[in-house]
Structure 1
Amino acid sequence: MSEVIGRGGDLVPEVGDGAVPAPVPVEADDATYHWLRGRPRRCRLRGDGTAAQFARFVLVGGSSNIVYAMVFLLLRGQGSLLANVAGVALSTVLANELHRRLTFNAAERVDWLSAQWEAGGLALVGLALSTSALALVGVWFPSAPGVVQAILVVAVSALVGVFRFLALRGWVFSVAR
């Protein structure tokens, strides 16, 4: 018996003599994402499970950081404060919208303004915490090298990111909304 590639990309036995293959069972999340039928679970980045949402959260966060860096570099000649504020504002608005539409599939449940207000507030809390941690290092360890400061900001940002994911998933873009 030979195999051919089926609709979902999986190998399926080739059916001879014009017989119709058995239908692929439809799971609950397949009904929403019909193009997932037949794909293995490890390929289901568009699912509503926590792991898939977290993977999308990380991808959106990385993308928004790239946008921040580009805006900052483009505007740094106007002053680092203006470049920072513009970069944070633009990348946060973009990330919030991508989280609403892609990460949590909440475009029908949560309107744009609510998402910006609530998720933006969480982003500001994260910014305040990382800035405070950086200021405390400057006070407690004034001679700390830049690499230590960068590691601290990354660590605080990662911790804030995990809490932000949980808050966005459980509150801002919750299914129970």
Structure 2
Amino acid sequence: MRFLRGDHAFAQLIRFALVGGSSNIAYVLLFLAANGIGPLLANIAGSIVSTVIANELHRRLTFHAAGRVGWFTAQWEGGGLALVGLLISTAALAGVESVAPGLGATAQAGAVLAIMAMVGGMRFLALRALVAA
């Protein structure tokens, strides 16, 4: 457990993945709950809420930066990176919708989550450079 609490890159990556998994659960629940307004709007709502949660958890837990980085700065930097992810996931969701228009909400959420996993790796590297430096 001591290793997981450390500031080594691998420990941070594990915490990043745990925070990401938790915020993805929040995202999926919101996506499914809001899917009645349409998958694109549900994606945006889920992304905003889960991003705010993830940014704060990353600031406090993943990078131990609560003393160095303020809430607004973490939201601004993390939110900017998340916006890039949102654009990628929204474009992917629109592509899935045009290729497979009858795909259910759960499959749509799965497609977005797979893409966000790739974006998450890039986001970890960027946040580590911004926050942990």
TM-score with structure 1 length normalisation? Answer: 0.61
Mark the CA change 1:70 to 1:103 in structure 2 (over 3 Å): closer, same or farther: same
Aligned length: 130
The percentage of aligned residue pairs carrying the same residue is 58
Residue 130 in structure 1 maps to residue 89 in structure 2:
yes
Equivalent residue letter for 1:90? V
Match of 1:170 among 126, 129, 133: 129
**Quick check: 2:93–2:108 contact (8 Å CA) kept in 1?**
yes
Instruction: Provide the residue aligned with 1:108 in structure 2.
Output: 67
Contact 2:12 2:62 in 1 (8 A): yes
Q: Which runs of 5+ in 2 are unaligned?
A: none
Distance in 1 separating the partners of 2:122 and 2:77: 14
Shift of 1:56: 0.3
The alignment yields a C-alpha RMSD, in angstroms, of 2.8
CA separation of 1:72 and 1:103: change in aligned 2, threshold 3 A: same
Deviation string, structure 1 residues 70-103 (Cα, Å, up to 9, x no partner): 33344445x2455443322211101000000000
Within 5 Å, which residues of 2 pair with 1:1-177? 44-76=3-35, 79-80=37-38, 83-136=42-95, 142=99, 146=103, 153-171=112-130, 173-175=131-133
- Give the aligned residue type for 1:63: S
The structural deviation recorded for 1:130 is: 2.2
Q: Which has the higher helix share?
A: 2
Unaligned runs of 5+ in 1: 1-41
With a CA cutoff of 8 Å and minimum separation of 6, indicate the structure with the bigger relative contact order.
2
